[in-house]
Amino acid sequence: MLKLYQYTGCPYCAKVIKAIDELGLDVELVDASWGNENSDQIEAWTGRRTVPFLVDEEADVKMHESDDIIAYLREKAGAIQ
């Protein structure tokens, strides 16, 4: 299961969501607005609250940075197809 921690209005999140749509991937979008329990969880995992933040539970991958996330998703989409 892929989860993208994000919040509305974040341009970097929008960039990743656009790539997810273009790749046709099934990704759960998780609201990580500042100060909610999901942003607290990101901080617990990484020591920071920045989004977008991708979690790939199957591969035990957790990552920040929109360009890195998009590259990872492109690789994953290629493996799925």
Q: What is the CATH number of the domain that holds 8?
A: 3.40.30.10
Angle at the Cα of 79 from the Cα atoms of 81 and 18, rounded to 5 degrees: 75
Count of domains observed in the chain: 1
Q: In what order do the strands lie in the sheet with 2-6?
A: 27-31, 2-6, 53-56, 61-63
How confident is the prediction for the chain on average, in pLDDT? 93
Pairwise pLDDT comparison (79 vs 26), residue with the higher score = 26
pTM of the model: 0.92
The SS3 assignment for 12 reads helix
* Residue 51, domain extent: 2-80
Pairwise pLDDT comparison (10 vs 34), residue with the higher score = 10
Look at residue 35 in the predicted model and tell me its pLDDT.
Answer: 82
